Amino acid sequence: MHPVDSPEEAAFRAEARRWLEQNASRRSRPPVAPSAIVAEWKPEEEEARLAEARRWQATKFDAGWAGIAWPTEYGGRGGTIYQQHVFDEEEAAFDVPRDALVVGLGWCGPAILHLGTPEQRRRFLPPMLRGDEMWCQLFSEPGSGSDLASLATKAHRDGADWVLEGEKTWSTFAHHADWGLCIARHGPDRHRGLTAFLVDMNSPGVVVTPIRQMTGAANFNQVYLDGVRVPDRLRLGEIGDGWRVVITTFMYERVAAYLPVRQVVEAARPLVSTSHPSRRARWTRAFITARVLELLRLRQITALHDGVPGPHGSLIKLAGTLLLDQVYDLGLDAFGPAGMVATGGAGEWVDAFLGTPGLRIGGGTDQIQRNIIAERILGLPRDPR
Does residue 116 belong to any structural domain of this protein? no
Task: Check whether residue 270 and residue 356 sit in a common domain.
Answer: yes
Backbone angles phi, psi at 212, to 5 degrees: -75, 125
Residue 234 backbone class (left: φ over 0; alpha: ψ -120 to 50; beta: rest): alpha
Same domain (yes/no): 161, 211: yes
Residue 322 and residue 213 share a domain: no
- In angstroms and rounded to an integer, the radius of gyration of the C-alpha atoms of the chain is 21
The DSSP string of 60-98 is HHHHT-SSTTS-GGGTS----HHHHHHHHHHHTTBSS--
Tell whether 241 and 289 lie within a shared domain. Answer: no
pLDDT computed for residue 350 by the predictor? 85
Segment 161-170, tens digit of pLDDT: 999 999 999 9
CATH number at residue 320: 1.20.140.10
- Check if 253 is active-site: yes
Name the 3-class secondary structure at 182: strand
pLDDT digit string, tens, across residues 219-274: 889 999 999 999 999 999 999 999 999 988 887 776 655 567 888 899 999 988 77
The CATH number for 85's domain is: 1.10.540
pLDDT of 385: 66
pLDDT tens digits along 291-301: 998 888 888 77
Is 199 domain-assigned?
yes
Cα distance between residue 34 and residue 263, in whole Å: 7
214 part of a folded domain: yes
Describe the crossing of helices 81-91 and 277-304 by its angle, rounded to 10 degrees: 150
SS3 154: strand
Number of H helices, E strands in the chain: 13, 8
**For 167, left (φ over 0), alpha (ψ -120 to 50), or beta?**
beta
Q: What percent of the chain has pLDDT over 90?
A: 57
- Specify the pTM: 0.89
The reply to whether 283 falls in a domain is yes
**109 lies in some domain:** no
Higher confidence at residue 267 or residue 98?
267
Structural domain includes residue 1: no
Amino acid at 4: V
Residues 279 and 230 in one domain: no
Average pLDDT over residues 172-201: 96
Q: Is residue 117 part of a domain?
A: no
Is 177 contained in some domain? yes
Our count of domains for the chain comes to 3
Quick one: 160 and 62 in the same domain?
Answer: no
Give 115-139 as a DSSP string.
Answer: HS-HHHHHHHHHHHHHTSS-EEEE-
Annotated catalytic residue within 253, 266, 294, 348: 253
Regarding whether 280 and 218 lie in a shared domain, the answer is no
Answer yes or no: do 281 and 192 share one domain.
Answer: no
Domain that includes residue 213, residue range? 135-245
Query: 241: domain CATH number?
Result: 2.40.110.10
